Amino acid sequence: MLEPHRYRVQSHLNTSRNVGTIWRINQALAKDARTAGHRIEITAVEDRIRLLGTVPSPKIRQAAVEIVRGLSGISAVIDDILVGHEQHT
């Protein structure tokens, strides 16, 4: 089930590489029991990834970052995931 994860590619960055990278990350997060079901937004610019959202614990945040860093072809992960009920503005 891939629906819990949101993903976005800005229109000027909408390359097949970026879309493919986001799809791979989305699948990896959805398949891992630690991150499945949590809404994590993924933005990709080539091999640089930004994760954004709110999760209920630091362990889930750490797991998401580790999963993405463990994928081949990823050079950088920007961790903008918040813990708890915090909201991005």
Q: State the Cα–Cα distance between residues 59 and 73, nearest whole angstrom.
A: 24
Residue 67 lies in a domain: no
At 11, the pLDDT band (50, 70, 90 cuts) reads very low
Residue 43 lies in a domain: yes
- 15-19, 36-40, 47-51: least confident range: 15-19
Residue 1 lies in a domain: no
- CA dihedral (17, 67, 42, 75) positive or negative: negative
Residue 63 lies in a domain: no
Element (H or E) spanning 44, and its range?
Answer: strand 40-45
Q: Could you list the residue range(s) of the whole structural domain that residue 38 is in?
A: 6-56+72-83
61-87: pLDDT as tens digits:
999 999 999 999 999 999 999 999 655
- The contacts of residue 89 (CB under 8 Å, 6+ apart) are none
Residue 13 lies in a domain: yes
Mean pLDDT over each residue of the chain, to the nearest integer: 84
Residue 64 lies in a domain: no
Residue 39 lies in a domain: yes
Number of domains in the chain: 1
Bridge partners (DSSP) listed for residue 78: 50
Residue 19 lies in a domain: yes
- Give one word for 53, left, alpha or beta, with left for phi > 0 and alpha for psi -120 to 50: left
